[in-house]
Amino acid sequence: MDLLPDLWKQEYWLPPGVTWKDMEQLADSDRPQPKDLLVALPLSLCFVALRHVFERFLAPPLCRWLGVKKRSQIAAAPSPQLESFYTQRSRHPTQKEVASLMLLCGKTQRQIEMWFRRRRNQDRPCQTKKFGEAAWRFFFYLTAFVAGLVSLFDRPWFWDHRECWRQYPFQPLERAHFWYYMLELGFYFSLLLRISVDIKRKDFKEQVIHHLATIILLSFSYCANYIRIGTLILLLHDSSDILLESAKMFHYGTGWKKTCDSLFVVFSVVFLVTRLVIFPSKLIRATLLLSMEVFEPFVGYYFFNILLMVLQVLHIFWAGLILRMVFKFLKGKLEKDERSDEESVVEEEENSEDENLDQRRDCYWEKSKETLNSRFSALTNNCVLNNLTHQRLSLPNRMAKSQ
């Protein structure tokens, strides 16, 4: 029962010696308050609606301009029994289940496996859906980065990170930074709301952890008035996300390989520098060490830095994926994102195998027809020659008889 009051104990949120009463020396409009976070909830719904409009009306013209095409797929033949099994039980039947389906449908094992493979391919997200998702994130990150840079460029803590803690926690909240926080928080809430319908990639679990850590980090840093350092963290993350989403947009297009490769190289450099160098050496250092010049450690200090460490672990994980992509890029073998949607690599290979199998069957049939035709022609010619020879040999006999 006392959990909620205990949650707001000043020892958790404020440095030693500072009370909530002391925070009232700031005007209500200049003081971050937990109830302000409720603004992010309707904003997240607005982002969901805005994204729907964007993907419905703005993304298709961009798709046509960049030459994004839907990949042709072989549709699975209608089969009520297999469709019922697919939707209600499993998309990947076991060997035992395949055997029972063979008896139920009167099909061979190869036909059953091919049906499920093609049916899974039908559910795979198309290129236009991937492009729409990447384009939406690109435009948000670009807008957020530009707005954040404009609001921070002339602030002293943008250049000197010690200014993040000067007079902490009695730092007035600026309206621009309030909306910067709320828009970012609403955006990440909207990503969680759509996580069940968005494309699931190989790093799906890491993405969920990242979104949750970001939401908790933003919420806590706002309530504890860690807003100055928080705005710098947001700006740094948006800088590389812009390049990632733009590279993906051109990757899905046709005829933009050089542009995509150039953006990928720039993104890799920016990501590795910002996430593995600047983030730990500047921002984490500012929260771990420089803040100690102003106040002693408290619960909120440890909690905030633990969340930053979680983000850093995710940065290292994604850096590993990027370095793998760089290695493939240098070898000339980079064709798809290492984070590509779940099952896409396997399904594409299997789909190409189906197409190759069909092509081999067609080729075999054509060759068989050619062989049969040639043999039939040879047989026909042989019969004609035999008849001519027989007639030539029997001609003198017939002439002798007539005489």
- Give pLDDT tens digits for 373-388: 555 455 445 544 455 4
Same domain, 88 and 227: no
The mean pLDDT of the chain is 84
Residue 294 has which token pair? 């102003």
Query: Prior bond to 169 cis, omega within 30?
Result: yes
Q: Is the pLDDT of residue 72 over 70?
A: no
Same domain, 276 and 321: yes
Return the exposure string of 268-277: e unless at least 16 CB atoms fall within 10 Å of the residue's CB, then b.
Answer: bebbbebbee
**What confidence tier does 349 reach under pLDDT thresholds 50, 70, 90?**
very low
Q: Is the pLDDT of residue 43 over 80?
A: yes
* CATH of residue 85: 1.10.10
Q: How far apart are CA 142 and CA 246, in angstroms?
A: 10
Query: 93 in a domain, yes or no?
Result: yes
Q: Are 267 and 240 in contact (CB under 8 A)?
A: yes
Query: What DSSP designation does 201 have?
Result: B
Residue 210 has which token pair? 């990242």
Residue 253 has which token pair? 């297009």
Q: How far apart are CA 132 and CA 135, in angstroms?
A: 5
Closest by Cα among 243, 227, 228 to 275: 243
Same domain, 119 and 133: no
With tokens 């190869």, the residue in question is: 110
Q: How far apart are CA 50 and CA 55, in angstroms?
A: 9
Same domain, 148 and 279: yes
Same domain, 273 and 353: no
Query: 107 in a domain, yes or no?
Result: yes
Q: Where are the beta strands (DSSP E) in 222-324?
A: none
The total of structural domains in the chain comes to 3
- Average confidence (pLDDT) over 158-180: 95
Domain boundary among 300, 332, 364: 332
Same domain, 117 and 193: no
Q: How far apart are CA 25 and CA 381, in angstroms?
A: 110
**pLDDT for res 119:** 84
* Count of H-run helices and E-run strands, the chain: 17, 0
Q: Are 73 and 121 in contact (CB under 8 A)?
A: yes
Same domain, 355 and 220: no
**CB within 8 A of 82, min separation 6: which ones?**
76, 101, 105, 112, 115, 116, 119
Q: How far apart are CA 319 and CA 288, in angstroms?
A: 23
Q: Which amino acid is at 215?
A: I
Same domain, 351 and 324: no
Q: Which amino acid is at 255?
A: G
Query: 188 in a domain, yes or no?
Result: yes
**pLDDT for res 252:** 92
Same domain, 107 and 141: no
Query: 153 in a domain, yes or no?
Result: yes
Query: What DSSP designation does 224 have?
Result: T
| Half-sphere exposure for 378 (CA within 13 Å, toward CB) | 6
Q: Which amino acid is at 112?
A: I
Q: How far apart are CA 270 and CA 288, in angstroms?
A: 24
With tokens 């909240």, the residue in question is: 173
Query: 160 in a domain, yes or no?
Result: yes
- Average confidence (pLDDT) over 278-305: 94
Domain boundaries, position 347: 343-373
**CB within 8 A of 194, min separation 6: which ones?**
48, 51
**pLDDT for res 392:** 47
Same domain, 165 and 312: yes
Same domain, 196 and 274: yes
Domain boundary among 277, 310, 332: 332
Q: Is the pTM of this model over 0.75?
A: yes
Query: 250 in a domain, yes or no?
Result: yes
Helix (H) or strand (E) holding 49: helix 40-53
Same domain, 275 and 348: no
